[in-house]
Amino acid sequence: MSNIAGTKSSLNWAVQISVVLLVVLWIFPTVGLFVSSFRTADQISSTGWWKALFPTEQSETLRAADPDDFAVQLDDGTWAVTGNLYEEGAQASISSWGTSSRDISAYVPGDIADLGDGETITMNETGDYVWTSVEQPSGRGQRVFVTATNPPEFTLENYDTVLGEGVIQSILIYAAAAAVVAVVVGFATKSVGLSNFKMAAYLSGIVVFLVLSLVYGLGTGQGGGQASDNMAKAFFNTLTVTIPATIIPITVAAFAAYALAWMDFPGRALLIAAIVGLLVVPLQLALIPLLRLHLQIGIGKGYLGVWLAHTGFGMPLAIYLLRNYMAGLPRDIIENARVDGATEYQIFTRIILPLSFPALASFAIFQFLWTWNDLLVALVFLIDSSGQTTVMTRQIVELLGTRGGNWEILATAAFVSISVPLIVFFAMQKYLVRGLLAGSVK
């Protein structure tokens, strides 16, 4: 029997290792984006992001200070420019350097390079240099090529550029404060014995975050230029599209789902079949006819149009999910309520809606993710030529086109756009999974 036990444990190890590999493979791309959003443009283009976590050796071209401003005449009549090649705070350690692009590692720190015409330059490991000259030097600062080991370095600069000065810092601080409050409230309500203490914790966290940002504002209000204006605006536009487009279909679909689940009327079965059929109708078909309709009846391109469109496109899934869930609720409760003289409206609002909370939450997450991540519907029904109503996905596609090389902006913008769905995803994964299971496996 021992060999069977042996194979079992070795198989178990193989399983563990392959799961680790799969998980690493799966999160690797996202981590790449995340890490890149904290690196400067130079860092991104000089090394792959996977090297960013370790000290890297990189070759750079740097210049000594401008001799016209910084040259000092020494007592013996020669001139000298002293200083450090790096900006303040850099912690590079130079391993070799050179003064000609043909031989960039001709010297090690401490060597003195002869530049000809009586000029010499020397430097130590940290980039402190002394550039001396017999004549008064002029023109641009001396160019040097250094190969140095730089410690890992991360910056919030990109977020300042994309979101505006100081925005990310205040968001992080407020989020930390909100998390602390949420934890305290969660424990407090749990010890009091409130059954949905998690909900209380979430809500208090969100309230604290909103109050802090309303009272103290986000950042200094100083924009980081065009990119920041557009991205911050696009963020709010996306929110403006998403929230009504999530809440309105739920309200409408809940009533319809109740009618389909608990009311008897001719044609009910047919209607349910029709909704199952409409679940898969590609929304591509709706683009031209509905855009035309919107233009004819005067809605035009704008928020109202996109809200209506998302409501329509989300409706089959909403009705389907909610009906399946409501149909599974115990019949006794509803019939007892009917016997007790409750109206259908009362049964719906007092009994069905509270009991259906998990299904409502599942659909809300679906619809939220789908509207937040949507590009096509926004392109067709929302974004007009003025460009005032652009959403984040559109903004990112635009950046991909115009600034395909500006990875620091692109990565940061993309990460800002995916961070909100990710937060929702991790906070409410349970409901998402439940909804998926209800929607597909029957």
List binders of other proteins among 17-36 (CB under 8 A). 18-19, 22-23, 26-30, 32-33, 36
CB of 142 to other proteins, least distance (A): 25
Site for other proteins, residues 298 to 317, rule: CB under 8 A: 303-304, 307-309, 311-313, 315-316
Of residues 214-273, those binding other proteins (CB under 8 A): 236-237, 239-241, 243-244, 247-249, 251-253, 255-256, 258-260, 263, 265, 268-269, 271-273
Angle at CA of residue 325, ends 320 and 328, nearest 5°: 125
Per CB under 8 A, contacts with other proteins among 397-436 are 397, 400, 404, 407, 410-411, 414, 417-418, 421-422, 424-426, 429, 432-433, 436
**130 contacts 82 by C-beta, under 8 angstroms:** yes
Strands 112-116 and 93-98, sheet pairing:
unpaired
Contact 131, 187 (CB under 8 A): no
Counting beta carbons within 10 angstroms of the beta carbon of residue 304, is it exposed (0 to 12), middle (13 to 18) or buried (19 or more)? Answer: middle
Choice between 71 and 391, CB closer to other proteins:
391
Letters for 29-68 (x = contact with other proteins by CB under 8 A, - = none) are xx-xx--x-------xxxxxxx------------------
Give the largest Cα separation in the chain, rounded.
110
**DSSP codes of every residue in 77-105:** S-EEEEEESSPTT---EEEEEESBTTBTT
Beta carbons of 174 and 212 less than 8 angstroms apart: yes
Which C-beta is closer to other proteins: that of 188 or that of 239?
Answer: 239
Binding region for other proteins (CB under 8 A) out of 114-122, 140-148, 174-182, 277-285: 277-285
Q: Which of 104, 146, 218, 290 binds other proteins (CB under 8 A)?
A: 290
> Which residues in 250-289 are b (16+ Cβ under 10 Å) and which e?
bebbbbbbbbbbbeeeeeeeeebeebeeeeeeeeeebbee
Closest CB to other proteins among residues 79, 258: 258
Residue 210 interacting with other proteins (CB under 8 A): no
Q: Which is nearer to other proteins, 177 or 243 (CB)?
A: 243
Q: Is 3 in the site for other proteins (CB under 8 A)?
A: no
Is residue 120 packed enough to be buried (19+ CB in 10 Å), middle (13-18) or exposed (0-12)? middle
* Strand-pair partners of 116: 119
Q: Which helix (H) or strand (E) holds 123?
A: strand 119-123
Min dist CB 239 to other proteins, Å, is 7
Site for other proteins in 332-391 (CB under 8 A): 343-345, 348, 369, 372-376, 379-380
State in angstroms the smallest separation of the CB of 49 from other proteins: 7
Indicate the residue among 184 and 273 with the shorter CB distance to other proteins.
273
Measured from the CB of residue 397, what is the shortest distance to other proteins in angstroms? Answer: 5
